[in-house]
Chain A
Amino acid sequence: MYMNIREKAPLLIGLGLPALFIVGVAFFVLFPVSSSLPKVNFVYATYPSNTYELQGAIIVVNGKISIGNSYSIFRECDPYITGNVYDKQQVSTTVVNMQTRPDFCDTTLPGSSEKRLQKALSMGLKVFEHNPATNESRELTIDEALRLNVSDVLESPDGFEFTYGRNSGDFYGFSNGYSQDYYLKNNRYATKMNLVIPASSQYGSGVQFIGWVR
Chain B
Amino acid sequence: MENNIIQQVPRKAEHSGMILIAILGGLLLAFGLGKLLSDLWPSFGPLTRVALCVLGFVIAHTSGYFLTKVGNRAYTGTIFHLIGIFLLPVAFSVFFREMQVELNGAMKSFIMTFFGALAYIPFAFTRRTIFVLAGSVYGFLALRSIINLIVGTNPVFDNYFDSYSFLVLGISFLFLGFYIKEYVSVFAKYALNLASSVIIVSAGLSLSDAGRGYGASEFALWDIWFPALMVAMLYGGMRWRFLTQSILAIIGLLATLGILIGKYFDSISLPIILSIAGLVLIMIAYFGVSRNKASVASDAKM
Contacts and interface: CB of A to CB of B under 8 A. Distances in A.
Given A166-B157, A179-B153, A190-B154, A21 B165 contact: yes
B156 interface: yes
B171 interface: yes
Contact of A13 (B155, B156, B175): B175
Main secondary structure, interface of B, reads helix
B156 A171 contact: no
Given A17-B168, A17-B171, A18-B168, A165 B144 contact: no
A171 B174 CA distance: 25
B41 interface: no
Residue in A10, A14, A171 whose Cβ sees the most chain B Cβ within 10 Å: A14
A173 B150 contact: no
A96 interface: no
B176 A14 contact: yes
A21 B155 CA distance: 18
A168 interface: yes
Contacts of B157: 25, 166
Interface in A177-205: 179, 181, 183, 185, 188-190, 192
Given A13-B175, A14-B176, A188 B156 contact: yes
B143 A18 contact: yes
B151 A11 contact: no
Main secondary structure, interface of A, reads mixed
Contacts of B152: 165, 168, 181
A170 B150 CA distance: 13
B175 A11 contact: yes
Contacts, number: 106
A185 B154 CA distance: 9
Interface residues of A, number: 34
Nearest to B178: A10
Contacts of B172: 13-15, 17-18
B150 A26 contact: yes
A155 B136 CA distance: 42
Nearest to A191: B154
Interface string A151-166: 0000000000001111
Contacts of B182: 7
A168 B106 contact: yes
B39 interface: no
B146 interface: yes
B254 interface: no
A14 B150 contact: no
Residue in B109, B172, B177 whose Cβ sees the most chain A Cβ within 10 Å: B172
Interface of A: 7-8, 10-11, 13-15, 17-18, 21-22, 25-26, 29, 163-174, 179, 181, 183, 185, 188-190, 192
Q: What are the 7 closest A-B residue pairs judged by CB atoms, nearest first?
A: A170-B105, A165-B153, A14-B175, A14-B176, A173-B144, A10-B178, A10-B179
29 contacts: A11-B175, A13-B172, A13-B175, A14-B174, A18-B139, A21-B147, A22-B143, A22-B146, A25-B150, A29-B150, A29-B154, A165-B153, A165-B155, A166-B158, A169-B105, A170-B109, A172-B109, A172-B113, A172-B145, A173-B106, A173-B109, A173-B145, A179-B153, A181-B153, A183-B153, A185-B156, A190-B155, A192-B153, A192-B154
Given A11-B176, A168-B104, A181-B152, 15 more contacts: A13-B172, A15-B176, A17-B168, A18-B172, A165-B154, A167-B153, A169-B106, A170-B104, A170-B106, A171-B109, A172-B148, A181-B153, A189-B156, A190-B155, A192-B153
